[in-house]
Structure 1
Amino acid sequence: MLNAGMSRLSERRAEYLAVLVPVVVMCAIGLWGLDRDGMWRDEAVTFQVARRSVPQIRHLLGSVDAVHGLYYLLMHLVLAVHPGEVVLRLPSVFGAALATGLVAALGVRLCRPRVGLWAGLAYAATPMVGHYAQEGRSYALVAAGVAGATLLLVRAVRGGRWWPYGAVLAVTCVLHEFAVLVLLAHACTLAFARVPGTTWRRWGCAAGAVVVVLLPLVLVSWGQSAQVAWLTAPDGRSVEELLERFTGSSPLLLGPYLVLMALAGGMARAKRDLSPAGVALPLMVVPPAVLMGISQISPLYDDRYVLYSLAGAPLLAVVGAERAAGVLGRLRTGRRRLPAVPRQASYGHGAAVGAPVLPAPRGSAGRGGGVALRDAPRISASRAHDAVPPSLWVRWRGGALLGVLAVCAVLVAQLPLLRADRRADHRPDDLAGVSALVGRVVRPGDPVLFLPSLERRSALAYPAGFKGVRDVALDVPAAEDGTLYGREAGPAELRRRLGGLTYVWVVTEPFALRSTWAPSNPTERAKLAMVTQEFITREEYVRRGITLRLYVRREEPWSAGSTQPGAS
Structure 2
Amino acid sequence: MIRRLDSACPPAPADGARTARSPAIAATQLSRPTPARTASPRPRSRRRWAVGAPVALSLVLGLWGVRRDGSLWRDEVVTYDMARRDLPDLAATLEQVDAVHGLYYLLMHGLFALCDDADPLLVLRLPSVVAGAAACGLVALLGHRLAGARAGLLSGIVFALLPPVQRFAQEGRSYALVCALVVWSTWLLVRAVDRGTARLWAGYTAVLLTACLLHEFAVLVAVAHAVVVPRTARPGWVRAVAVVLVGLAPLAVFSTGQSEQVAWIGGIGAVSWTGFGLIVLGAVCARLLGTPRVAVGRLDLPSLGLALTVLPALVLLVASLVKPLYVDRYVLYGNAGTALLAGAVLDRLGSGLGTRVVAAALTLALVPVTVGVRTPESRVDDVAAVEQAIRQAGVPGDGILYMPSRRRVWSLHDPGAVRGLRDLALERGPVASSTLYGTEAAVPVIRARMLTVPRLVAVRDPEGEPLDRIAQEAVKRDVLAASFEECDTLRVRGARVTVFARPGKC
Please give the range of the TM-score, normalised by the shorter of the 2 chains: 0.7 to 0.9
Match status 1:212 vs 2:246: yes
Q: Distance in 2 between matches of 1:271 and 1:433?
A: 52
Q: Distance in 2 between matches of 1:271 and 1:477?
A: 56
Quick one: structure 1 residues 271 and 503, their matched pair in 2 at CA, closer, same or farther if it must change by over 3 Å?
A: closer
Does the Cα contact within 8 Å between 1:509 and 1:546 map onto a contact in 2?
A: yes
Equivalent residue, structure 1, for 2:263: 229
Q: Distance in 2 between matches of 1:472 and 1:264?
A: 65
Q: Distance in 1 between matches of 2:287 and 2:59?
A: 26
Task: Say which SS state the counterpart of residue 548 (structure 1) adopts.
Answer: strand
Matches within 5 A, 1:151-230: 151-159=187-195, 160=197, 161-190=200-229, 194-196=230-232, 199-230=233-264
Equivalent residue, structure 1, for 2:16: none
Matches within 5 A, 1:109-120: 109-120=145-156
Which segment is superposed worse, 141-150 or 29-38?
29-38
Equivalent residue, structure 2, for 1:331: none
Equivalent residue, structure 2, for 1:32: 64
Which runs of 5 or more residues in structure 2 are unaligned?
Answer: 1-32
Q: Any idea what the Cα deviations from partners look like across 1:155-205, whole Å, max 9, x if unmatched?
A: 111113210000000000010100101111101011xxx332xx2111111
Q: Distance in 2 between matches of 1:448 and 1:103?
A: 49
Q: Any idea what the Cα deviations from partners look like across 1:123-165, whole Å, max 9, x if unmatched?
A: 1111111011111111111110110000000111111321000
Which segment is superposed worse, 52-61 or 406-415?
406-415
Q: Write the letter of the residue equivalent to 1:220.
A: F
Does the Cα contact within 8 Å between 2:59 and 2:130 map onto a contact in 1?
A: yes
Match status 1:19 vs 2:51: yes
Quick one: structure 1 residues 117 and 202, their matched pair in 2 at CA, closer, same or farther if it must change by over 3 Å?
A: same
Q: Write the letter of the residue equivalent to 1:491.
A: V
Q: Distance in 1 between matches of 2:473 and 2:422?
A: 18
Equivalent residue, structure 2, for 1:140: 176
Equivalent residue, structure 2, for 1:124: 160
Does the Cα contact within 8 Å between 1:260 and 1:321 map onto a contact in 2?
A: no
Q: Any idea what the Cα deviations from partners look like across 1:50-91, whole Å, max 9, x if unmatched?
A: 111111111111121111111111111222213611221111
Match status 1:239 vs 2:273: yes
Q: Distance in 1 between matches of 2:355 and 2:254?
A: 47
Measure how far apart 1:120 and its partner are. 0.3
Does the Cα contact within 8 Å between 2:50 and 2:140 map onto a contact in 1?
A: yes
Q: Write the letter of the residue equivalent to 1:492.
A: P
Quick one: structure 1 residues 473 and 525, their matched pair in 2 at CA, closer, same or farther if it must change by over 3 Å?
A: same
Quick one: structure 1 residues 408 and 209, their matched pair in 2 at CA, closer, same or farther if it must change by over 3 Å?
A: farther
Measure how far apart 1:101 and its partner are. 0.2
Measure how far apart 1:400 and its partner are. 9.8
Percent of aligned positions that are identical: 38
Equivalent residue, structure 1, for 2:426: 474
Measure how far apart 1:262 and its partner are. 2.9
Match status 1:75 vs 2:24: no
Measure how far apart 1:2 and its partner are. 2.6
Equivalent residue, structure 2, for 1:532: 481
Measure how far apart 1:103 and its partner are. 0.2
Q: Distance in 1 between matches of 2:462 and 2:317?
A: 29
Q: Write the letter of the residue equivalent to 2:220.
A: L
Q: Distance in 2 between matches of 1:507 and 1:148?
A: 43
Matches within 5 A, 1:92-491: 92-159=128-195, 160=197, 161-190=200-229, 194-196=230-232, 199-235=233-269, 237-242=271-276, 259-263=285-289, 267=293, 273-325=298-350, 399=351, 407=359, 409-491=361-443
Q: Distance in 2 between matches of 1:287 and 1:523?
A: 38
Which segment is superposed worse, 129-138 or 430-439?
430-439
Task: Say which SS state the counterpart of residue 456 (structure 2) adopts.
Answer: strand
Measure how far apart 1:529 and its partner are. 1.3
Does the Cα contact within 8 Å between 2:217 and 2:330 map onto a contact in 1?
A: yes
Which runs of 5 or more residues in structure 1 are unaligned?
Answer: 248-253, 326-398, 560-568
Task: Say which SS state the counterpart of residue 510 (structure 1) adopts.
Answer: coil
Does the Cα contact within 8 Å between 1:186 and 1:282 map onto a contact in 2?
A: yes
Quick one: structure 1 residues 177 and 441, their matched pair in 2 at CA, closer, same or farther if it must change by over 3 Å?
A: same
Q: Distance in 2 between matches of 1:59 and 1:403?
A: 56
Q: Distance in 2 between matches of 1:23 and 1:551?
A: 52
Which segment is superposed worse, 423-432 or 117-126?
423-432
Quick one: structure 1 residues 271 and 481, their matched pair in 2 at CA, closer, same or farther if it must change by over 3 Å?
A: closer
Q: Write the letter of the residue equivalent to 2:82.
A: V
Quick one: structure 1 residues 60 and 405, their matched pair in 2 at CA, closer, same or farther if it must change by over 3 Å?
A: farther
TM-score, length-scaled by structure 2: 0.87
Does the Cα contact within 8 Å between 1:541 and 1:549 map onto a contact in 2?
A: yes
Measure how far apart 1:492 and its partner are. 1.4
Q: Distance in 2 between matches of 1:521 and 1:259?
A: 48
Task: Say which SS state the counterpart of residue 485 (structure 1) adopts.
Answer: coil
Task: Say which SS state the counterpart of residue 289 (structure 2) adopts.
Answer: helix
Count, aligned residues: 467
Equivalent residue, structure 1, for 2:12: none
Q: Any idea what the Cα deviations from partners look like across 1:86-136, whole Å, max 9, x if unmatched?
A: 221111111110100000000111121111101001111111110111111
Q: Distance in 2 between matches of 1:237 and 1:314?
A: 22
Task: Say which SS state the counterpart of residue 162 (structure 1) adopts.
Answer: helix
Q: Distance in 1 between matches of 2:248 and 2:38?
A: 47
Does the Cα contact within 8 Å between 2:387 and 2:417 map onto a contact in 1?
A: yes
Task: Say which SS state the counterpart of residue 461 (structure 1) adopts.
Answer: coil
TM-score, length-scaled by structure 1: 0.78
Equivalent residue, structure 1, for 2:496: 547
Does the Cα contact within 8 Å between 1:188 and 1:282 map onto a contact in 2?
A: yes
Equivalent residue, structure 2, for 1:520: 469
Q: Distance in 1 between matches of 2:251 and 2:352?
A: 45
Task: Say which SS state the counterpart of residue 241 (structure 2) adopts.
Answer: helix
Does the Cα contact within 8 Å between 2:401 and 2:423 map onto a contact in 1?
A: yes
Match status 1:46 vs 2:79: yes
Q: Write the letter of the residue equivalent to 1:61.
A: L
Task: Say which SS state the counterpart of residue 491 (structure 2) adopts.
Answer: strand
Q: Distance in 2 between matches of 1:272 and 1:68?
A: 36
Q: Write the letter of the residue equivalent to 2:186.
A: T
